[in-house]
Amino acid sequence: MDSIDTDATHDTSSKMALDALRQMVAQQAAFPQRPLPTERDLAVDFGVSRRAIRRALAVLEAEGHIWRRQGKGTFVGPTPPSAAMSFAKLSSRTNFSEVMEARIYLEPALASLAALRASGEQMAILRRLAERTTHQQHASEPDAEGIELWDSALHRAIAEAAGNRLMLDIFEMLDAIRLDPAWRDLRQRARNTDRLSTYSHDHHDIVGAIESRDPAKAATAMRGHLRALQQALDHVIQQDLEASV
């Protein structure tokens, strides 16, 4: 069949196949585990060549609407993360605002678990780190790298005190994405003396709630802290947008 295809009929039949496949994909969105019919069956159903089907599938795959697994078939939806998928790949599929949103849900949970589970030794570490973030803020010269280092160390120590290895791994993954150099400048501009003083105050509130074994208060303090950070970042982005008009 393929050999009869001229370029003109091919273009038309690929477009027809693409439109029909888009409808099929929309209808099958609820069934990500069920493969689409084979190329051969699709060609028969739509009355076009297999080559037209292949071209249409290539478009849908490039758009991220379908994905294929060798020997298994073609499936609806973006490629799911496979067992071999790495953090680097995951990081390339996300963006700054998604990471911030994920932190706002994950870290309050970690703070409340830390309030329930932190050992005396871990509490002492949290207290020391909270004090270091205050020192950083009061340093005569602002030291962006030092601020980030100690801030990240405190958030990580809370995640560790939560006592769930899997959630700590997820935290570290988000923290690695967050520290992407491309976002460093944005974060630096979102900091100013007033805000730094607020953040350091937040850190003491969070650690205080963990020390007093109050999971709800620890979660609330962490959520407030991250929402303030998110707002400061949104504010800087908004200023950039307005300056560019």
Residues near its own copies (CB under 8 A) are 26, 29-33, 77-78, 80-88, 90-91, 93-94, 98-99, 101-102, 105-106, 109, 113, 121, 125, 128-129, 149, 153, 156-157, 160, 164-167, 169-170, 172-174, 176-177
Q: Minimum CB separation from its own copies for residue 2, in Å?
A: 35
Paired strand residues for 67: 75
Identify which of residues 176 and 236 has a Cβ nearer to its own copies in the complex: 176
Task: Kindly tell me the burial class for residue 168, based on how many C-beta atoms sit within 10 Å of its own C-beta (0-12, 13-18, 19 or more).
Answer: middle
Identify which of residues 26 and 139 has a Cβ nearer to its own copies in the complex: 26
Asked if residue 144 lies in contact with residue 179, where contact means CB atoms within 8 angstroms, the answer is no
Identify which of residues 177 and 196 has a Cβ nearer to its own copies in the complex: 177
Q: Minimum CB separation from its own copies for residue 4, in Å?
A: 38
206 φ, ψ (degrees, to nearest 5): -65, -50
Rg (Cα) of the chain, in Å, rounded?
Answer: 26
Asked if residue 117 lies in contact with residue 161, where contact means CB atoms within 8 angstroms, the answer is yes
Q: Minimum CB separation from its own copies for residue 227, in Å?
A: 14
C-alpha neighbours within 13 Å on the C-beta side of residue 64: 3
Identify which of residues 50 and 96 has a Cβ nearer to its own copies in the complex: 96
